[in-house]
Structure 1
Amino acid sequence: MNEDLEEGIKSVTGFQEGSMPFRYLGVPIQTGRLSKKNYSALTEKMVAQIRGLGAKKLSYSGRVVLINSVLNTLHNYWAQLFIIPKSVIKRIEAICRNYLWDNSPDYHRVPLVAWDKVTMTKQEGGLGINKAEVWNIATVGKLVDWIYTKSDRLWIRWVHNVYLKDKDWHEYVPPNDATWVWKHICKVKEKLKDGFVDGSWVSHPMGYSIRRGYEWLKPVQAPQPWQSIVWNNWNTPKHSLISWLMLQGGMNTKEKLHKIGYYSDDRCILCDSMPKTIDHLFSSCVYSCKVKHILENWIGNNLPTISHLAASITNSV
């Protein structure tokens, strides 16, 4: 339109002329693919949450709750709007991992337990934190499902008229000159292909959802027989996580820190008689034995040692 008409519309409506990119509902809006720089708003917001008031005062169990309820929620919101690049996904996982083990978004300490183990469900021996990369694929899978079911949405109608043109979506292969976004959606379709039969998600009668797609994509591990002992209503979250760390061999005992040069020796600082291993700390140390004896007299019953309990659990696995 000419300049006079444009000025007339602005004067009548009170609108102001803007430019792209701009921010709407907390996310950048532009016509093309977002660059890595555009995603800095997401990672910076996650870092700001970590550095916020009280975030550094949480225990391990408290940090797990914050990661699931706050940090992953931020990622989930963006994942439903954009296809997040792998480099940004790795940065998101690094922020969550560093915060869990070091109270900081930056890398300072070696993780006590591998991230692949942490992102397993509690039944499988993990902490139940979502794996960001798999969750992002499952989120894009929602678009794949809409195309399968021909959802009554303007974008889906456009896809069927411009890209598919009555072609079979199940067997569709994108052309070489297709956009990056469309090629990525087609790659996700191939990963979820076995889950769709005749256009319907066969793994659940209620159809596809992001959570069901995530559980379908994630490698399934055998349930651990000790999970009900560690995670139950009788244990406080802090004690449950300490027990979980013990069973994963992730506690920073003096014996472990001596191997990486943090201490000059590995002797127990309480009894100074043996290396301070997990077994010694909870069972063999004379101070541990005294505490155990006091508890047995108090409850009027013998208690199994932590080492025997851990051994029986490990052997049952």
Structure 2
Amino acid sequence: MANYLSYKQGTFPFKNLGLLVGANMNRVRDWNSVIEIFKNCLSLWKAKMLSYGGRITLITSVVNSLPTYYFSLYKAPIQVLDSLDKIRRVFFWGGSEEKAKMNWVTWDKTIAPIEYGVLGFGSLRDANLAMLAKWWWRFETEKEVLWRRVVWAIHHNPRAWSDISVKIYVPGPWKNIISTRQAL
């Protein structure tokens, strides 16, 4: 078909809007581009030049939104979430990967909501689960949209008891979305 339309035939995986298409996002190495974006945005020289207030602003307004595009389709492996949290933690406290600075507050309290009297950085794991759970909600409420009909046609099993079915042998993001059921 590519030859017929005079297009160049590509290969998988490829990048589209910064997202790897055709890659197995269950592998940690396929998340390296997200980790590199984090590292570049939160470089050590920026931490030394900014006050704590500046670091808080950078983390909450910019960095927390960087992985949103990935998190909305793929369940991030635990190693990736730990790596991203480590980058945020080291940047906030002004240390480096080689030499850590003293942490005045535990990280669990740092990521807790502001209503609890802490910094409110937010949990990347919770953000990932919330974005994947949104697809469940959209699947149940938007009955006539094209993407829902495609997922239904691929994964529907009339003999299944589940309200949202998934065929285990069919690869893709829908399996990750359904796998969040146990976490929620």
Q: Same fold (TM over 0.5)?
A: yes
For the pair 1:184 / 2:165, whether they are aligned, the reply is: no
Alignment correspondent of 1:112: 104
Distance 1:149 1:67, change over 3 A: same
Distance 1:176 1:73, change over 3 A: closer
Alignment correspondent of 1:50: 42
- From 76, 87, 91, the equivalent of 1:95 is 87
Normalization by structure 1: what TM-score?
A: 0.50
Residue-pair matches, total: 183
Q: Deviations over 1:83-105 (max 9, x none)?
A: 22121111111111111112546
- Maintained 8 Å contact 2:93/2:101: yes
Alignment correspondent of 2:31: 39
Alignment correspondent of 2:60: 68
Q: Secondary structure at the match of 1:37?
A: helix
The Cα shift of 1:161 comes to: 2.5
Q: Deviations over 1:227-284 (max 9, x none)?
A: xxxxxxxxxxxxxxxxxxxxxxxxxxxxxxxxxxxxxxxxxxxxxxxxxxxxxxxxxx
Q: Which protein has the larger Cα radius of gyration, Structure 1 or Structure 2? A: 1
Q: Deviations over 1:17-61 (max 9, x none)?
A: 322211121222216445322211111111111228745311112
Distance 1:152 1:94, change over 3 A: farther
Alignment correspondent of 1:124: 116
Distance 1:180 1:85, change over 3 A: farther
Alignment correspondent of 1:156: 148
Distance 1:29 1:143, change over 3 A: same
Q: Secondary structure at the match of 2:104?
A: coil
- Maintained 8 Å contact 2:28/2:80: yes
Q: Secondary structure at the match of 2:116?
A: coil
The Cα shift of 1:165 comes to: 4.0
For the pair 1:137 / 2:125, whether they are aligned, the reply is: no
Q: What code does the residue aligned with 1:78 have?
A: Y
Q: What code does the residue aligned with 1:113 have?
A: V
Distance 1:147 1:67, change over 3 A: same
- Maintained 8 Å contact 2:74/2:176: no
User: Where do 1:164-203 residues align within 5 Å?
Assistant: 164-165=156-157, 169-170=162-163, 177=169, 179=171, 181-192=173-184
Where does structure 2 lack aligned partners over 5 or more consecutive residues?
none
- From 1, 5, 17, the equivalent of 2:9 is 17
Q: What code does the residue aligned with 2:110 have?
A: V
Q: Secondary structure at the match of 1:28?
A: strand
- From 68, 71, 83, the equivalent of 1:79 is 71
Q: Percent identity?
A: 26
Q: What code does the residue aligned with 1:38 have?
A: D
User: Where do 1:269-284 residues align within 5 Å?
Assistant: none
Q: Secondary structure at the match of 1:123?
A: helix
Distance 1:157 1:168, change over 3 A: farther
Q: Deviations over 1:156-195 (max 9, x none)?
A: 112222323456654x575664647444322323555xxx
The Cα shift of 1:106 comes to: 6.1
Separation in structure 2 between the aligned mates of residue 109 and residue 55 of structure 1, nearest angstrom: 12
